[in-house]
Structure 1
Amino acid sequence: MIRVYLLDAAGHLAPGLAGEVRALAETAAVAVDAQVGIDGADLVLCDYRGLAIPELGVGGYAPSAALAFIALEPWGEHFAQHWRQALPASIAHELHHVRRWQGPGYGPRLADSLVSEGMATLFEAERTGEEPLYARAVPGEDLDRHWQDALPLLEREDQHARFFFGGADLPRWLGYALGTELARRYCREHGVSAAEAVDAPAGEVAKAW
């Protein structure tokens, strides 16, 4: 079971909008739970500064096997346009993480991050019918080159921020694009969905490239 909490003591969400947000979140959480089978978790929707994706006004973070945050920025210029699509998509992504935390865990290595984020992003795409913008951040023809560069670093535990948030030498969201392609190859090879592959070991998934 997933319990949904909407925190808005500051009143950033108008009363009608708050009800609509909560209803959509609850519907999305029930649908995801039916697919991946989450063993109890809290889903918290709140003003979590710095967590939302600026281009969407919505974002998320799942720090454990029992908790996920969804950040809402209703004052942002893109929130009104995107939240109805971005909210259920973010819930799918973060609750897939929660479910993976309940299995093999997220993992500390770059390989673990690529698989955990890739599977969650692919699941999000399966739920919505569209790959999110961070999965499309790097042209497909460049992914093989970037994967070869990542291979010697897969066992490292200090590469997450560099690959997922970018830097001087890597494009923003590269890790999501690599992880999604890796997850897609694994799922295609094994004839499974990202929901069905939620417990797949990172070491096995990493062999699919």
Structure 2
Amino acid sequence: MAQWLVHYANACGQLNGWIERISEGIAEARYRAEQVSTAISLDVIVQVWPGQVIDCRGFVGYAPTGTMMQLTLDSGNANFSSCMGEPFERMVAHELHHVMRWRGPGYGRTLGEALVSEGLAGHFCRQLYASAPEPWESALSETETVACAMKAKQQWFAQSYRHDEWFFGQGGLPRWAGYSLGYVMVARYLQHNDGKSAASLVNEPAESFCPFL
């Protein structure tokens, strides 16, 4: 039987007053995900790290393996309280899709693979919540999308790509370019492949998406 073990790093009490809401959000995201995908076991690490979060949310997620996700929160962030509902649940769902993909082809070592992994995780949230793109999934203008897509096609197979530049704007590209580009690419794939979903595509090779970039 699949189980999620949630570990609260709360020796200093920084999560006091929030644990119940966090637990409810994790449980809701898990429930929705298991309606469309195979249940898996994993560890969920919940920690507080002030300043190391997405500012417009007050939290951030990370899935480094196929057995664990890390949820980092900053309750002192001005946007934290208002986002501790569905936005928090969508973060959990996003990271869960990464965990599941790690068990198949992996997150990816090339730019193309990373774009696909992020695009699929974004559309997994949309599948579960019928939600609009997150701010980082709609950060590019039409002109920027075209320019970034052209550059991504040239670097699709590059293992030496700069992840921080493509996804966090630490370089010459717009901030969140990779997230937005991946989201658009997967959207185009889904438009041309009826019956497919982010859940059903969790193990799909990245190459299948390249023509839709």
TM-score calculated relative to the size of structure 2: 0.90
Q: Compared with structure 1, are the counterparts of its residues 38 and 65 closer, same or farther at alpha carbon in structure 2 (3 Å cutoff)?
A: farther
What secondary structure is seen at the aligned counterpart in 2 of 1:36?
A: coil
The whole-number CA distance in structure 2 between the counterparts of 1:20 and 1:166 is 32
1:182 is aligned, of 159, 180, 185, to 185
* Alpha-carbon distance between aligned partners in 1 of 2:52 and 2:63, rounded to the nearest angstrom: 11
Q: In the comparison of the two structures, how many residue pairs are matched?
A: 208
1:197 aligns with 2:210: no
- 2:176 equivalent to 1:173: yes
Cα distance in 1 for partners of 2:142, 2:6 equals 37
Go from structure 1 to structure 2 and tell me whether the alpha carbon gap of 1:179 and 1:27 turns closer, same or farther (over 3 Å shift): same
Measure the CA separation in 2 of the matches of 1:73 and 1:113: 26
The residue identity in structure 1 corresponding to 2:185 is L
- Tell me whether 57-66 or 155-164 shows the greater mean CA deviation: 155-164
Partner of 1:12: 14
Contact 2:120/2:186 (CA < 8 Å) preserved in 1?
yes
Superposed CA RMSD: 1.7
d(CA) in 2 for partners of 1:97, 1:117: 8
Verify the 8 A CA contact 1:58 1:86 in the aligned structure 2. Answer: no
Q: How far did residue 24 of structure 1 move?
A: 1.9
Q: Which structure 2 segments of 5+ residues have no match?
A: none
In structure 1, list runs of 5 or more residues that go unmatched.
none
| In structure 1, C-alpha distance between the alignment counterparts of 2:146 and 2:139, rounded to whole Å | 14
> Contact 1:58–1:73 (CA<8 Å) still a contact in 2?
yes
Amino acid corresponding to residue 31 of structure 1 in structure 2: R
In structure 2, distance between residues paired with 1:95 and 1:49: 23
**Alpha-carbon distance, 1:86 to partner:** 2.2
Map of 1:65 onto structure 2: 66
Aligned equivalents of 2:24 and 2:176: distance in 1?
30
Superposed CA deviations along residues 46-101 of structure 1, whole A, max 9, x for unmatched, are 11455421111011000000001111111111101212132101001000000111
* Greater per-residue helix proportion: 1
Q: What percentage of residue pairs aligned between the two structures are identical?
A: 28
Tell me the TM-score normalised to structure 1 length. Answer: 0.92
Whether contact under 8 Å (1:32, 1:92) holds in the other structure is yes
4+ aligned runs moved over 6 Å, structure 1: none
Aligned counterpart for 1:162 among listed residues 156, 160, 165: 165
